[in-house]
Amino acid sequence: MSSFWTLSIVCGLMLRVSYGALNTHYGAPRTTVPYQMGTKLFKEEGIFNYSTMLLREDLGVLLLGAREAVYALDIDDVSVRKAVVYWRVTEDKQKECTYKGKHAEVECRNYIRTLHIVNNTTMFVCGTNAFSPICDYMTFVNGQLRLEGKQEEGKGKCPFDPFQRYSSLMIGSDLYSATSINFLGSEPVVLRSSDLSLRTEFKSSWLSEPHFVYMDFVGESFESPDGDDDKVYMFFSENAMEYDFYSKVAVSRVARVCKGDMGGQRTLQRKWTTFLKARLDCSLPEPSLPPIVQDVFLLENEDWRKSVFYAVFTPQSGSSQVSAVCAFRVSDIRHVFNKGKFKTPVAVETSHVKWVMFTGEVPVPRPGACINTVSRQMGMNRSLDLPDKTLQFIRDRPLMEEAVGPLTGGPLLVTSGALLTRVVVDSVMGLDGRRHAVMFIGTENGYIQKAVNYAGEMFIIEEIQLCEKPVPISTLRLSSSKGQLYAGSELGVVQMPLSNCSRYDSCTDCILSRDPYCVWDFTPKLCSSVHTSTAIQSLEEGDTMPCPKPDPVVAENFLLVTENNIQLPCQPHSNLAQVMWRLSEQTLHSSSKYHIYSGGLLLLSASDSDAGLYSCDSVELISGRAYNRTVAVYRLHLHSGSEAAGSTTPIYEVTNSVQSPNTAGPGGSDMQDPLSPENQNDPGKVTRLEVAVASLSLLCLFLMGLLLWIWTQGRARECFKLAKRPGESEAKRQSAEYIHIQNRTSEINLQGAEHRAVDFKRNGEQNISTLEGLGFIYDESEI
């Protein structure tokens, strides 16, 4: 009896773990587009790290910086190279770099890291130059790309390390950069290179081992009621000074400086007087350390107060595969800096510094503020006029007490699986007259996810495999006017359209895609990006009622052979859909008779009573409603001379409908929990897990029953003798243990169909595959 209870405990734990692996609650793409041959791609043999991009729509080129090369590519087709200039390190520089302990063929090369517009024909370009940064000017005239030979020191403008994250921005002739200013990378700096250069203090309270990711300009002086100045915002992560932990903990930050800052007269000479920073809050659903910002994009609005920063966050520990996108409104960041309280360092008994909220009197003018109307009324027209009391305060207390919270109160999007890397956002006008922010998000395995928020619901329209090999997307640039997205990686740059409405070949598919770029036009009967008077679109509701009724599904007739296991394939119409099976209008549920899985229905040990009409509906939740669509119909019948197996006849009329949220799905309950997209690189993985779980269930139940019977009959010894039989009986026993028995399984009309389509059940991922070779145990003689 102890063997019985041991087996039941083991089986229960195994099944719990197996099903637990399938139970997740994260966003997943509605459709998956595999890698397409013929994708517009550029790469050159021997050149790597295509990591710097500059769009010059006025010149019709995409400037691409790589290792020791800058390319001018046709903006309409990046596979067409218009010009190239090679910028290699000298032999002396390479030797000098290797003497300092760097790798000659990897680090001791010239990686192009900076590309900015200077004027109509000229760009500013910088490279790492074998850990000795250097900058130059480059022109594109008459189809020729040429370095001007006006080289200048690149220290502080470009990183030494080719693989170190940094950011820079050109405003007029002034270069703002955030990087390290020394060979070892131990002296971080936010620098303005201009006639009046400014920089940050070398204090850990200002920057503590930061990793810079993004920098952008916001023109806050425009129609400012308080006479404020324009700002430069920067995003980075650094070691937290405010947390009292035994080990270092990183946090994400946003910082800003004022464009008109000139430094202080005595205190903070040639240093920023307006440098302020605050923590960015983007909480992941799982308890964890603060997530780390990886990339940011500014979606500008005509009213700069409504401009929004979209930021990608990933865990700082390698144990989690959860990523998030959070949005931060400029006005909210501004409020924290302009009205929030400061943190201040205090000494405690253990002789270390603790940061707490400052409760004393704040000097006037407010520390860290730009020169505004209040300052001017006090006779201070420049930062050079600020009193030492204000400057000393901000020198010692650049950190704000309050964190900047996300626009929606939490993440816009949370995904599990391949981590997110980069983000860009486009603003698209729908037929509803409203603008929709469409996010294009790169992943670490070479995919692009396209997502949009409808009435608080984050909807991932599709994911597209952009890179043939699973390499991280390291750079993203978007051209709204061209309708193109450009993605760079270590191996090359790929171009893709922002939308491909031709993928949807019916009105229903076009509407259910809920793609703001796409409309269904009744006149040519096409899904296109052209808005006409005969076009329809339903982004929030996904309402397909105006669409014409689809053609009937053709039922397939098959011969039913009793005692056989019968497989009926069914592929849902989207990754987010589930299948619901019916037999003569009666809903089927998984049981000892039926096993419903992502690839279809498995009918176990068929009998005469199983003959009838089987229909498979694909059920997808849209805005809280279940959209029902019949996708397959099978008629199982007993052998008769008048019918031949495999014949087809259109006997089942299809009706698509939208039902209430309590529509029963497979299993007779509400829509089931989704499957995780974390297995998207292994087609068939989830389905194999499902089949193994089902088979394991049957095997465990059988073995427990068998052991119980043996125990009650007092025949345990004879059972174990049976297990030791040689020859054919031994082979059968082993094959049963590994669930590879070849039995009487009927393969129903697969006809070479490929069942490898990805199947995300609502918010997760499964994969379609056949059940070839799967067998089941019918009596003890088979063991």
Domains of the chain as residue ranges with CATH: 2-25+680-782 (no CATH), 44-155 (no CATH), 165-417 (2.130.10.10), 501-536 (3.30.1680.10)
Residue 46's CB is within 10 A of a number of other CB atoms, namely: 8
pLDDT at position 759 is: 37
The low-confidence residues of the chain, meaning pLDDT below 70, are 1-25, 350-351, 639-783
* Residue 673: predicted pLDDT: 33
Cα–Cα distance measured from residue 194 to residue 175, given in angstroms and rounded to the nearest whole number:
7
Lookup: tokens for 24: 């997740």
Closest to 750 (Cα-Cα) out of 614, 556, 573:
556
- What is the pTM assigned to this prediction? 0.80
Burial (0-12, 13-18, 19+ Cβ within 10 Å), 174: middle
Task: Quote the pLDDT of residue 477.
Answer: 97
pLDDT the model gives residue 624? 79
Cα 6 to Cα 2, 10, 704, 737, 783: the distances in Å are: 6, 6, 10, 17, 20
Among 263, 280, 278, 242, smallest CA distance to 395 is for: 263
Task: Decide if 374 contacts 363 (C-beta within 8 A).
Answer: no
If we measure between CA atoms, which residue out of 81, 83, 86, 84 comes closest to residue 40? 81
Nearest CA to 128 out of 115, 104, 111, 151 is that of 111
Q: What is the CA radius of gyration of the chain?
A: 32
Strands 31-33 and 457-465: parallel
Mapping DSSP to helix (H, G, I), strand (E, B) and coil, where does residue 356 land?
Answer: strand
Contact 102, 108 (CB under 8 A): yes
**400, 404, 405, 408 alpha-carbon torsion, rounded to 10°:** 160
Query: Which of these, 384, 344, 345, 342, lies nearest to 367 by C-alpha position?
Result: 342
| The pLDDT of residue 708 | 53
N-term to C-term CA, the chain:
21
